[in-house]
């Protein structure tokens, strides 16, 4: 209880990439993305802004075509209350599915936490990095709600300075801006940096793999190769100590250990941008090579993407198939695993990470969950 006898107000902030909600804001979304100094290291300023404006201008038309192909709200807005489509009662033909799916995750988590923490007034928020709602929108709402304890919970199981790190830095910049304006943040704040070996997260992925494998005939399942694909990282980030690539490998090895290593599997990286050297192998290049080697059954596992968006629904499920056809290659069956989205085990994993960092005031024992994660860590290290 708070000092005033009311339920203590706890705010959970889900942090995600975000995505455009209409064709006319794609250019702004791309500008926000490429002006991020954690994505492109130019130190900000004139040259970074010029590059971001140039890239967004020329990429926007093509990106619009892609978002129209995977429109996430074909019958009306299913995103957050901050979505302009919802506010204006507009049915968009060009909305990223990440918006409605993140809202689904937010609602599912809030329902779960309120049921498990009835003695607290829990509210779950969503702060997107590159489109609405921004960190400033959410911080302002949390101040109005009188939040006393807050948890920053990235929807990125693997830590990278270009994802979770960028969101954390943006959050801190907004906090400092609010402070200068005389709006001091008084809540206690806890941060979840990564949870790539959380047992329930691993089991959720494992269940999704099994479910997708069922699309193959029983006779063909033994021939299926698993291709774990993650967003690529510039080599300069890896060399500077970014743990993302190492954590991706740890997650994959932990999952395959759970599966008894009964399938052939590969790790690859997608979505490279610009002339820099990126982590290898590239997903499309790897798939082409596997087909040349005679592999005819592939299951693509988007291991770092817990919310379906353009990189899973477009790059893997549409563009990859088109690239295979354009190369004149033949494959008998290629399936793409759906993202975890609001999978119950994934929601449990997120809740566990929150409880682990707040158990000193929630009182929820976490010894079982912590032990399970540590056991997974030790099995990977061995």
Is residue 30 within 8 A of residue 144, CB to CB? The reply is no
Beta-ladder partners of 113: none
Lowest mean pLDDT among 39-48, 157-166, 175-184, 334-343: 39-48
Assign 286 a pLDDT band (cuts: 50, 70, 90).
very high
> Residue 191: its pLDDT value, please?
98
Lowest mean pLDDT among 180-184, 198-202, 281-285, 374-378: 374-378
Domains and CATH numbers, the chain: 8-193 (3.40.50.1400), 199-336 (3.40.50.1400)
> Residue 365: its pLDDT value, please?
63
> Residue 127: its pLDDT value, please?
98
Name the burial class of residue 247, with classes exposed (0-12), middle (13-18) and buried (19+) by CB atoms within 10 angstroms of its CB: buried
> Residue 325: its pLDDT value, please?
97
The pTM assigned to this predicted structure is 0.93
> Residue 41: its pLDDT value, please?
81
Tens digit of each residue's pLDDT (9 = 90 or more) over 333-345:
999 999 999 999 9
Handedness of CA 263, 218, 287, 210 (dihedral sign): negative
Is residue 164 within 8 A of residue 193, CB to CB? The reply is yes
SS3 for the chain is: CCCCCCCEEEEEEEEECCCCCCHHHHHHHHHHHHCCCCCCCCCCHHHHHHHHHHHHHHHHHHHHHHHHHCCCCCCCCCCCCCCHHHHHCCCCCCCCHHHHHHHHHHHHHHHHHHHHCCCEEEEEEEEECCCCCCHHHHHHHHHHHCCCEEEEEECCCCCCCCCHHHHHHHHHHHHHHHHHCCCCCCCEEEECCCCCCCHHHHHHHHHHHHHHHCCCCCCCHHHCEEEEEEECCEHHHHHCCCCHHHHHHHHHHHHHHHCCCCCEEEEEEECCCCCCCECCCEHHHHHHHHHHCCCCEEEEEECCCCCCCHHHHHHHHHHHHHHHHHCCCCCCEEEECCCCCCCHHHHHHHHHHHHHHHHHHHCCCCHHHHHHHHHHHHHHHC
Tens digit of each residue's pLDDT (9 = 90 or more) over 330-377:
999 999 999 999 999 999 999 999 999 999 999 886 543 444 444 444
Q: Would you call the peptide bond into 281 cis, given omega within 30 degrees of 0 as the criterion?
A: yes
Tens digit of each residue's pLDDT (9 = 90 or more) over 97-145:
999 999 999 999 999 999 999 999 999 999 999 999 999 999 999 999 9
Q: What does the pLDDT average to over 145-172?
A: 97
Between CA 307 and CA 103 the distance in angstroms is 10
> Residue 275: its pLDDT value, please?
62
Between CA 37 and CA 274 the distance in angstroms is 15
Lowest mean pLDDT among 205-214, 278-287, 322-331, 372-381: 372-381
- Angle made by CA atoms 67, 73, 74, in degrees to the nearest 5: 90
Widest CA span of the chain, in angstroms?
70
Is residue 118 within 8 A of residue 134, CB to CB? The reply is no
What percentage of the chain exceeds 70 in pLDDT? 93
CA 141 to chain centre: 23
Answer yes or no: is pLDDT of 381 > 70.
no
> Residue 274: its pLDDT value, please?
62
């Amino acid at each position: 209880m708070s000092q005033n006898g009311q339920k203590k107000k706890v705010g959970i902030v889900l942090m995600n990439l975000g995505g455009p909600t209409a064709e006319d804001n794609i250019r702004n979304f791309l500008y926000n993305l490429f002006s991020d100094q954690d994505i492109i290291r130019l130190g900000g300023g004139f040259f970074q802004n010029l590059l971001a404006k140039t890239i967004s201008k020329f990429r926007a038309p093509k990106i619009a075509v892609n978002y129209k192909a995977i429109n996430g709200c074909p019958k009306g807005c299913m995103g957050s209350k901050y979505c302009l489509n919802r506010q204006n009662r507009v049915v968009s033909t060009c909305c990223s599915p990440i918006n409605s799916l993140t809202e689904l995750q937010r609602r599912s988590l809030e329902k779960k936490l309120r049921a498990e923490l009835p003695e607290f007034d829990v509210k779950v928020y969503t702060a997107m990095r590159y489109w609405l709602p921004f960190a400033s929108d959410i911080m302002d709402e949390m101040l109005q709600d009188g939040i006393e304890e807050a948890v920053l919970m990235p929807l990125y199981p693997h830590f990278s300075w270009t994802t979770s790190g960028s969101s954390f830095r943006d959050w801190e910049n907004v906090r400092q801006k609010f402070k200068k304006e005389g709006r001091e943040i008084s809540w206690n704040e806890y941060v979840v940096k990564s949870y790539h070996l959380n047992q329930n997260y691993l089991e959720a992925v494992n269940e999704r793999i099994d479910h997708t494998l069922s699309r193959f005939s029983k006779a063909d399942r033994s021939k299926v190769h698993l291709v774990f694909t993650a967003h690529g990282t510039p080599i300069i980030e890896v060399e500077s100590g970014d743990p993302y690539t190492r954590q991706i490998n740890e997650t994959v090895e932990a999952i395959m250990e759970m599966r008894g290593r009964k399938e052939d599997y590969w790790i690859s990286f997608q979505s490279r941008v610009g002339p820099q050297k990126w982590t290898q192998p590239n997903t499309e290049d790897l798939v082409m090579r596997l087909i040349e080697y005679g592999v005819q059954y592939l299951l693509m596992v988007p291991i770092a993407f817990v919310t379906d968006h353009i990189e899973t629904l477009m790059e893997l499920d549409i563009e990859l198939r088109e690239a295979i056809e354009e190369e004149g290659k033949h494959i008998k069956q290629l399936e793409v695993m759906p993202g975890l989205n609001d999978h119950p085990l994934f929601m449990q994993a997120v809740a566990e990470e929150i409880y682990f960092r707040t158990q000193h005031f929630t009182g929820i024992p976490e010894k079982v969950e912590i032990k399970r994660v540590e056991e997974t860590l030790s099995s990977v290290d061995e």
